[in-house]
Structure 1
Amino acid sequence: MSAKATSAEVLIVGAGPVGLFTALRLGQAGVSVTVLEKDGGLSQLPRACMFYPQVQFALDEAKVYSDLIKKGGGFRTTGLDIRFPPLPDANGGKKPGQLVASFPKEDAAEFNPEGPPRAPMDGSPAISMLNIPQSQMCQVFMDRAIETGHVRVLFSKELISIENEGSGEDDAQVSIRVKDLASNTESRYAASLLIGADGGRSKTRSILGISFPGHTWPEKLVATDVWLRNEEEGPITTTLLMDPVHYTILSPLTRPIRGEVSKWRVTFALNPEDLETRTDEDLLTEEYITQHYDRSWRLAANFRKGRCLLAGDAAHVNNVIGGLGLSNCLLDSVALSDALIMILREGKPMDPLLTMYSDERRQVFQFFIDPVSSWVSSRRRNTP
C-alpha cells in the first residue's frame, strides 16, 4: 500500500545530532524540514559526550547553548590532560599516572562552567569542553527544532529508495520512497533537497552509489558510564590515558568536584587478541569491564549527487579517540545549513554552493580531522 507524496523544502534522513542540528538551523531560517528516522525514538546509546570550543561557538550562535546547559544537563570543563595509566600506591590502592601533557586551561577566576568559552584575558591559548551525552543533546536539538514551527520529526520511517536524485537540469525535486515500520505501509516524500545524515552505514550513501573508500581501525572500543569519586590528585577534566593496547579516554558526564562522586564516561580499546577469542557477550560482562577500570577513518568520494547531500558520519568516519568525530560532524551541519539557506532563502545559485560544501568539508577531513585523529590514536599507544 502506498500513500501520496508528502512535501517539504528539505528532507533529512537520520535523527541523530547532525540531522537534528541541521534541521534546527534551517527551521530558524524559516525553511520547512522533514526529518525521517528509522528507529522508534532518539538513540539512548552511550556515544559522543564532549565537544570542542569551535562547536560551542556554533551552538551559541544558534541560540541553543543555554538550553543544552539548563535543559540538557550540560556543563563545561577546561583543559585536557594526557597521562600514563594509574600506578599502585603504598596502601594497596591506585595513584594517578604521570601527567605527560596538559592543554592550557581558562583562568579560574574567569571560568564559567555554564557559559560558552571565553578567550583568556592575557591572550594565551586555552581549551574547554562542553560535556553532555549525545542523547541529551539530541533531545534539546529536536525540541528546539520543532518549536520553530518549520520542522517535523517522524520516527519508524525507513528509507527504501531514491526515485529521483534531482541530477537532471530540469529536475527541481528529489523524491524518495519510505516505509513506515509501525504500519508496514509505504509513502513517497518529495523535497527540493535531500540530506543523508544516517551515520557511518548510511543507506542514503549506498543508494546514491557514492563510494566510501578508506580503512578500518583494527581496534574495537567499549564506552561505559560509571560513578567515580574525584580524588585529590585524580582526573578532574577530560583525560586521555596512554597505553600500548588499552588506551582510554575519561570524560565527565556530571560536573566533577574534588572529594565528591560524579558520573564519568570511560571509553577504552580492547585487546585485538580478545576479539579473536571472546564473544561480544564476554567483552561486555561486568567482570571484563571492571578490570579495565583498574588498570576507522573513512571518507566518501563525494558529499553530493544532484540535489542529494551527505553530512556527518554518512560522509566521513574517523577514529573516535580524541573527540574530533561529532565535533567535526556538527560543523558539517553549520556549513551545509548555511549553504541551503543561501540557496532557498537568498536565491543564490545551487550548483556552486553545494559543490563548495562538498569540496571544502572533504578537505577539512582529509587534511585536518583524519591526520590529527590518527596521530592522537597512535600517540595514545606510546608508553615508556
Structure 2
Amino acid sequence: MSAEDRVLVVGAGPVGAVLALALRQAGIPVVLIEKLAQPEHDCRAASCHPPTIAMLERLGLLEAGLDQGLVSPAFHYLDRITGKLVGRFDLEAMREPPAHAYVLQWEQWKIAETVLARLENDEGAEILMGRSLEGFTQDDGGVTIQIRCEQGEQTELRGRYLVGCDGGRSTVRKIAGVDFEGFTWPERFIKIDTRQDFSALGAHISNRNYFSAPNDWMNVFKARGEDGEGMWRAVSPAPLDQTDEEVTAPEAVEARLQRFCPRPEPYDVVTTAIYRVHQRVAATFNLGRVLLAGDAAHVNNPVGGMGMNGGIHDAVNLADKLAMIWFDGADADALLDRYTRQRRKAQIDGVQAQSIANKQLLDEQDPAARAIKLDGIRKAAADPVLHDAFIRRACMIDSFAAAEATL
C-alpha cells in the first residue's frame, strides 16, 4: 500500500474492526491500529438491534453471529418492588416485524475477533496490534500519525484519512481538540457477570430484562459467554454513600442479586466491575481528514444496549461515504459533513434521548410518577399499536431511519 491510498483506523474493537471490514469490502486499503495485543474478553456490550443485524448480514457476519451469539426476540419490564412482570415486548409479534425480528446477543469481543480473523490474510488490510497513537498532523493530502509499539519504538504512518474508533477516552478526539459535550451521571454503575441461569427462576425472566425500582433498578441480560454455556450480565446503580470496595464486596453482590431474583443457593459470580457512566456526544465527527466513530464520538448509559449499535452504524455509514469519495469523486467535505449530521442526529435524538429516558423510567423516585410510568408500560405491552411503537424506539428502528434520511 502506498501512503496516499489507505485509511488509518485507530482502535480494533467492534467499531474499528467493522469499519475496517466494510472499507475492505468496498475496495479501500486500511491499516488497523490497536494498543492492546488482543481484544479484551469482557461481557460488556453484547446487544445487536435489528438495524445492526441487517448490517452484519450485509457484511457477511451474521452466520458467525448466530453461531456464537444468542437470539432474543422478546424483552421484559419488571417491578422489583412486587416482583411481577409489568410488560412483555415481542419483536416476532409485531404487526410489521423487521427483517430480523430479534436482538442478537453477540459479545463485542467476539465480533472483533471474528472480523480480525477475516482480515488476517487480506493483503489490503494491515493489522498492527500492541501499538498506541502518540500524535498526528494533517494536511491537504492526508494524515501522518506517530505510533509507538510496546517495546517503545516509534514509527510514522501516512494515510488519506484517520478514523478514531479508540473509545470514550479517545486519543484521536483529544489531539484533534474536539469537545465532548454532555454530562456524567452522579452514581456509579456496578456490572456483575454470573453463570446462574436466571430464566430457571420462572417465565417472568427472558434473555433481556429491565427491573424498575427507585435507586435500585437492574438490567439483566444473557449472552453465550466464552464457553457457549451462557453468561448473564447484571447492571445496576451503586449507592452514593458506599465505596467501590463496599459495593463490590462478595456479600454485597450476593445480596444485590438475591434482592432482584431470590433463590435458595448463592450465585456463581464470575466478575464484578464498577465504573462511571457518561452521556456525551462529540461536537463534530469530522475535522478535515480526521474522523470519529463509536465511543470516540459518543457514549451513553447502558440501559437499552444501544452504545455498540450506534458505533457500528457509524462505521457502515462512514465506509459507504468514503467509498463514494474514493471511487466516485464525491465532494468529500459535503459528504463528511453529512456523516456528522446524520450520526449526531442518531445520537442526540435517538440513543442519548432514549437511553436517558430508559434510565429515568427504571429509576423514577416519585411514587405517583412511577405508578404512571409502569402503567404506561402495561398499556404499551397490551395494545398492538403502542407495543410496536415501543419496540421501534427501544430497538433503534425509528431513530436509525430518521438519521439515514437526514440530508
TM range (shorter): 0.7 to 0.9
- Which has the larger displacement, 338-347 or 14-23? 338-347
Within a 5 Å distance, the mapping from 1:1-384 to structure 2 comes to 9-70=6-67, 73-85=68-80, 97-106=83-92, 123=96, 128-162=102-136, 164-166=137-139, 171-181=140-150, 183-229=151-197, 230-254=200-224, 262-274=230-242, 278=243, 280-295=244-259, 296-382=278-364, 383-384=370-371
* Offset of residue 7 of structure 1: 6.8
Q: 1:6 to 1:155 in 2, by over 3 A?
A: farther
Q: State the identity as a percent.
A: 28
Residue 62 of structure 2 aligns to which amino acid in structure 1?
Answer: Y
Matched residue SS, 1:380: helix
* Offset of residue 45 of structure 1: 2.5
Alpha-carbon distance in structure 2 between the residues aligned to 1:147 and 1:347 = 29
Residue 168 of structure 2 aligns to which amino acid in structure 1?
Answer: G
Deviations 1:64-102 (A, max 9, x none): 1102223xx112111111101276xxxxxxxxx212222
Deviations 1:99-125 (A, max 9, x none): 222222415xxxxxxxxxxxx6x5367
Alpha-carbon distance in structure 2 between the residues aligned to 1:228 and 1:354 = 46
Which residue of structure 1 lines up, in the alignment, with residue 393 of structure 2?
A: none
Report if the CA contact (8 A) 2:146-2:156 is conserved: yes
Alpha-carbon distance in structure 2 between the residues aligned to 1:328 and 1:133 = 15
Matched residue SS, 2:183: coil
* Offset of residue 134 of structure 1: 1.4
**TM-score, L = length of structure 2:** 0.79
Residue 150 of structure 1 aligns to which amino acid in structure 2?
Answer: G
* Offset of residue 331 of structure 1: 0.5
Alpha-carbon distance in structure 2 between the residues aligned to 1:44 and 1:319 = 20
- Which has the larger displacement, 372-381 or 239-248? 239-248
* Offset of residue 8 of structure 1: 5.7
Report if the CA contact (8 A) 1:8-1:190 is conserved: no
Higher helix share: 2
Residue 48 of structure 1 aligns to which amino acid in structure 2?
Answer: A
Q: Which runs of 5+ in 2 are unaligned?
A: 260-277, 365-369, 372-407
Alpha-carbon distance in structure 2 between the residues aligned to 1:202 and 1:50 = 22
Which residue of structure 1 lines up, in the alignment, with residue 392 of structure 2?
A: none
RMSD: 2.1
